[in-house]
A and B are shown apart, each in its own frame.
Chain A
Amino acid sequence: GDSVTQMEGPVTLSEEACLTINCTYTATGYPSLFWYVQYPGEGLQLLLKATKADDKGSNKGFEATYRKETTSFHLEKGSVQVSDSAVYFCALGSSNTGKLIFGQGTTLQVKP
């Protein structure tokens, strides 16, 4: 079945450091891929998405490219801020069921 694997956290970075959170997937069909962010005590916010191979999603300085050849959708940001501290979820939208399949989440902590 479809699945998503994220790098384990927590990831601790200093402000202005570069961020990469790895995400790989297995899927049948042609899924859409998503990154969601969850701040403490809150629901999930859509950060970015890509709907087909080679698409790049971007938002608030974050970006991720849908790479079908490596079945990956790694999240990147060139310079993180303290306010980026949160839990990041990679998710796959099943083309068969419409359901989201989530990775386990990666906690990012950015220190001043």
Chain B
Amino acid sequence: GAVVSQHPSWVICKSGTSVKIECRSLDFQATTMFWYRQFPKQSLMLMATSNEGSKATYEQGVEKDKFLINHASLTLSTLTVTSAHPEDSSFYICSAAIQDTQYFGPGTRLTVL
């Protein structure tokens, strides 16, 4: 139980384009989902907290107009990287919470050329 999927698992895009990443809780409903970014050999950096039916809460320093988050249902949250640039290349990981425990997706590797 408590399986979280992400799609796509990897994506390569051209600079200036937008990329959407989906995060789904497959066997449970999650009112809260989280989006993280991870640089090579580093820990996870929380980008934002996504609550179903309301606006996401962004961490300090994260541009909300660049990283658009939509939590449209209890099983789906999306992260859209708008006008992507090479510095946005990273590993993006989502999680879905059941009470105090977060369950993580497998991650999405984004490469911006």
Contact = CB atoms under 8 A, between A and B. Distances in A.
A and B co-occur in one complex: yes
B82 interface: no
26 contacts: A41-B109, A42-B107, A43-B4, A43-B6, A43-B93, A43-B104, A43-B106, A44-B93, A44-B95, A44-B104, A46-B101, A46-B102, A49-B101, A89-B43, A89-B44, A93-B100, A93-B102, A99-B34, A99-B46, A99-B49, A100-B46, A100-B95, A100-B102, A103-B43, A104-B42, A105-B43
Which A-B residue pairs are the 5 nearest by beta carbons? A44-B104, A43-B104, A43-B106, A43-B107, A32-B100
A34 B99 CA distance: 14
Interface residues of B, number: 22
A104 B95 CA distance: 18
Contacts of A93: 100-102
A105 B41 CA distance: 9
Contacts of B106: 42-43
Interface of A: 32, 34, 36, 41-46, 49, 51, 89, 93, 98-100, 102-105
Main secondary structure of the interface of A (DSSP, over half): strand
B68 interface: no
Contacts, number: 50
Interface of B: 2, 4, 6, 32, 34, 42-44, 46, 49, 93, 95, 97, 100-107, 109
Given A43-B106, A44-B93, A102 B100 contact: no
Contacts of A41: 107, 109
A66 to B, nearest CB: 13
Contacts of B46: 99-100
B104 A36 contact: yes
A86 to B, nearest CB: 13
B91 to A, nearest CB: 9
